[in-house]
Amino acid sequence: MAESKTREQLQVLVANVASLWNGGRDVLDQLIQGAGIASPAAALAALDDDALEALFSDPDDRHRIAEVFGRLTRYLASPTWFDRSVRSDARLARLEACPVAYFCAEFGIASWLPIYSGGLGVLAGDMLKEASDMGLPFVGLGLFYRRGFFHQKLDESRYQTEYNDTLDPEDLGLERAVDDTGKPIAVSVPVADRVVRAAVWKLQVGRVSLFLLDTDTPENERPEDREITASLYGGDAETRIRQEVVLGIGGVRALHALGLSPSIYSMNEGHAAFLGLELIADHLRGNSFQSALSQTQQQVVYTNHTVVPAGNDVFPRDLVLRYLGPYAESNGIGRDRLMDLAASGHDSGFSMAVLAFHMSGKANAVSQLHAQVIPREWPGFQVEAVTNGVHMPTWLGPAVQSLLDRYVPDWRGDSPNWDAIHSIPDAELQAAHASQRRAMVARVNRSGGAQLDPDALTLVWARRFAEYKRAFLLASDRERLVRLLNDHDRPVQVVISGKAHPRDEGGKAILRELLQGFSSDPVLASRVAFVEDYDLDVAWSLTTGADVWLNTPRKPLEASGTSGMKAGDNGAVQLTVTDGWAAEVDWWGVGWGIDGCDDHADSLQLYEFLENGIVPRYYDLSAEGISHEWATMMRNTMVVTLTRYSSRRMLLDYVQKLYLPLVEDQPVAPEPEPSTP
């Protein structure tokens, strides 16, 4: 009987990823490790009753499962920000019937669902989680990649190689989305001269549903059609345009098939911009093109995440005409108008960013500095600045979260008293963070390579290996770095993690040269650890355990950045170029801000801060072994990141600055019939 109840509770936990941020991370990890299977749903299905009883034989384990089950149940039933706010704002009431539909090419929800590559997807995942916390009427729309994103493996020369898993949506806890009659939903999507079918899968993210389109279905006879959604950011330009047609046009059709009539279509990057064509096609019935475009703009919000060319697709015009010309003609848009909507002015290409700007009634950058840079890249377009934020319940480590539960008990609420962070005693704060650092170091040491000291000052650099991220900056003066890391009285060590894009040979070369340089020096080889296969679990471990978070982008190319926010929430002090979100912070008494001039000047400033600021201050210890000045900086950092850079603040900005102004101007009218293929 006890085992039956435990299984029933676990089935609830694995069916909703909100269990991850409601105390269930350790329970689900134990389930995965016990079954030796990568996802909680598959692990639970693989364990028979005897195996489940053996795995959770300790009464404390079963008590913990029951406790997490209770927390998740209470979370889903509790009143939300939306419940409290909708009574006084008629615009919010409109969302109850017509929710926000949030489109993104990737979603970082959990490491066992590898349909994300990095910051863009993790940000999208945090948006869904926060929308659930707030009770905001919200659905996510993306693609299901049966080969996911690649895993990283370094060869003997430290060169990055890649391999992919094969994913089964049902093993991952997804279920087929169904219509009112219970029939599984599949949508037709125009791709060049044919129609491709896409199945729709559903994942429950708290109160929010994430719908994922999948073309690997028997209804598609051509192998190339079944392969459209195989891999995230894989293949050539033809693969990318096929995926973006399925995401944009297919995504709108999936929402119609689900019986949803969104008031807002929110595009997280330009990959989903073809959704605007489908909305125009819908609105063209009985309207002029300009009227249809205007109505579309009243529904669409576009978030640009980067001005770096690699992050903004520009397709050859003939490729776009081949794939979308017949669709544009049959739906009254026309080939010439289609091309005009994405003409960049810089070249003859079809710019997805320009298309997204033209389709949107509101657009935003992801930091204040980014908002200043966008008009230089795309003149004539106006953007709001909505700086990114992170989902606190996901990214806080257990010891620091326990401190907040005690000293800021309302930290999950609408208006926490964040000033109470200053009341956390130095010794308690440093002990909590030290426990998280030791857990991080234990994980790093299990991965092989350098065996680090659990009690040494630990610097972490972790993000994508792209040239402009400048991982090489820390190693730019090897003599000074060796001297810094070889001080036995004030031990310092470094953890590095990150992937290069599979087609970024420059990024791969930077990674290999950096690691070869470290391994060639005995001091660096013993004090610098690299963690392979950077993913959500690795990121959580590093951001919860770092003492100092390093961020070295070439200014102003880092549109926002969020990893430093996550580390800051856990008390990590920042050593960062003042780019993206970091340009908004006065770092005096909080951390160390590098000006962001050029490689040489930034390197000199980085070493100056390490040698004469960070290391001496960290090791300026009292008789009790406490660095009081460091603890003050930790608290100051936490106040900055927790108050200004949370996903709660971010999503409230989206609602107030972007979504509701468009809703306010929308006529209340029935949703038009879907367009034809």
pLDDT at 2: 63
Confidence of residue 310 (pLDDT cuts 50, 70, 90): confident
Backbone φ and ψ of 326, nearest 5°: -60, -40
What amino acid occupies position 498?
Answer: G
Contacts of residues 665-673 at CB distance under 8 Å and 24 or more positions apart, as own/partner, are: 665/298, 666/94, 666/263, 666/298, 666/299, 668/94, 671/256, 671/261, 671/282, 672/282, 672/283, 672/285, 673/282, 673/285
Confidence of residue 170 (pLDDT cuts 50, 70, 90): very high
Say what the pTM is.
0.96
Residue 677 has pLDDT above 90, yes or no: no
pLDDT digits (tens, 9 = 90+) for 646-663: 999 999 999 999 999 999
User: Do β-strands 350-351 and 592-594 pair in parallel, antiparallel, or remain unpaired?
Assistant: unpaired
Residue 670 has pLDDT above 50, yes or no: no
Report whether the peptide linkage leading into residue 99 is cis, meaning its omega lies within 30 degrees of zero: no
Rounded mean pLDDT, 411-424: 96
| CATH fold label, 81-389+653-665 | Rossmann fold (3.40.50)
533 burial level (CB within 10 Å; 0-12, 13-18, 19+): middle
pLDDT digits (tens, 9 = 90+) for 542-601: 999 999 999 999 999 999 999 999 999 999 999 999 999 999 999 999 999 999 999 999
d(C-alpha 179, C-alpha 603), whole Å: 58
Quick check: helix, strand or coil at residue 553? Answer: coil
Residue 138 has pLDDT above 80, yes or no: yes
* Chain region(s) in the chain for CATH 3.40.50.2000: 81-389+653-665, 433-645
Q: At what angle do helices 289-297 and 275-283 cross, to 10 degrees?
A: 130
Q: How many CA atoms lie within 13 A of 74 on its CB side?
A: 8
337 burial level (CB within 10 Å; 0-12, 13-18, 19+): middle
Mean pLDDT of the chain: 95
Confidence of residue 395 (pLDDT cuts 50, 70, 90): very high
Residue 672 has pLDDT above 60, yes or no: no
List Cβ neighbours of 388 (8 Å cut-off, separation of 6 or more).
123, 366, 367, 560, 561, 562, 565, 581, 645, 650
pLDDT at 675: 53
d(C-alpha 137, C-alpha 97), whole Å: 8
Backbone φ and ψ of 459, nearest 5°: -95, 140
Backbone φ and ψ of 285, nearest 5°: -65, 110
pLDDT digits (tens, 9 = 90+) for 92-106: 999 999 999 999 999
Residue 482 has pLDDT above 80, yes or no: yes
Pick the residue with more confidence: 348 or 356? Answer: 356
Domain 433-645 class in CATH: alpha beta
**Alpha carbon 555 to its chain's center:** 22
Confidence of residue 400 (pLDDT cuts 50, 70, 90): very high
Pick the residue with more confidence: 667 or 141? Answer: 141
Task: Give bridge partners of residue 203 from the DSSP assignment.
Answer: 210
Using alpha carbons, select from 614, 602, 591, 518 the residue that is nearest to residue 558: 602
Neighbours of 7 (CB within 10 A): 17
